[in-house]
Amino acid sequence: MKIKAILALVAITLAGSAAAQVKPEEAIKFRQSGYGFMAWNMARIKMNVEGTYNKEEVIKAATAIQAIANSGMGALYLPGTDKGTGWEKTRAKPEIWTEKEKLGKAAMAFNKEANEMAKVAAAGDAAATKEQLGKLGGTCKGCHDDFKIKD
């Protein structure tokens, strides 16, 4: 058996373990849940920097965003989930499955800023949190512009 064939088999086996046991509509629902929960936590941080700053609340929110960002949600973009309905009809653009390199860069930028957000939150400075929220939000928007169908 050639190396290439072995590697292909390994890839199939890996895909066949955890990810492939998730049904397409479940995968769509799970990823919408991840984004939905991050949206709450982004909104909370925004409220804190615009209103009364509660360091503990910002830490909780930033920790949740960081954990979701690093959870490996890419596994939820299974083949066959470019169309379909989870909580609602997916708004994933086909480019997610065709522009892997661009998507990878967008995902890495998002993860980087989410990790930085958690650090900034731990320090507890409102102005720095506001600035980092802007950077983090920029990576969300960048990815949405390229890979999410508009409302």
The minimum distance between CB 92 and a copy of itself, in angstroms, equals 16
Known binding residue 148? Answer is: no
Q: Which of positions 84-143 make contact with a copy of itself (CB under 8 A)?
A: 87-88
Between CA 94 and CA 146, with CA 43 as vertex, the angle to 5 degrees is 20
Nearer to a copy of itself, 43 or 149 (CB): 43
* Binders of a copy of itself in range 31-70 (CB under 8 A): 32-37, 39-41, 43-44, 47-48, 51-52, 54, 57, 60-61, 63-64, 66-68, 70
Tell me the CA distances in angstroms from 114 to 5, 23, 68, one per residue in order. 37, 28, 9
Residue 79 interacting with a copy of itself (CB under 8 A): no
Ligand-binding site membership of 143 (annotated) = yes
How many residues bind a copy of itself (CB under 8 A)? The answer is: 37
- From CA 130, how far away is CA 3, in angstroms rounded? 50
Q: How many helices, marked H, and strands, marked E, lie in the chain?
A: 6, 0
- What amino acid is encoded at 47 in this protein? M
Binding site residues, as ranges?
140, 143-144
